[in-house]
Amino acid sequence: MYDTRLRLANQVVEEVKTHFQDMVFKTIIHRNVRLGESPSFGETIVIHDVASKGAINYLNLANELLQKLTITK
């Protein structure tokens, strides 16, 4: 999970993008409270709070993955 406030997190993102290039998804999962709470409730983030930033990030990642799979077929 990515925290924009941390310099190290920003450096890691850049290193991963540089090293893996096209293999890296554009979607980043941002750290947030609701995302951290969901396992405590035994729920996925989409069930726990579909409007949270974390849920939206995961839904965007799923869409990006589906698009990549469609392109490669």
pLDDT in tens, 25-58: 999 999 899 999 999 999 999 999 999 999 999 9
First to last CA, the chain: 30
Structural domain count, the chain: 1
Distances (CA, A) of 20 to 13, 14, 16, 24: 11, 10, 6, 6
* Percentage, residues of the chain above pLDDT 90: 79
Q: Could you tell me if residue 60 is inside a domain? A: yes
Q: Could you tell me if residue 1 is inside a domain? A: no
Q: What is the pTM of this model?
A: 0.82
Q: Could you tell me if residue 39 is inside a domain? A: yes
Structural domain boundaries, residue 24: 7-72
Band of pLDDT at residue 73, cut at 50, 70 and 90: low
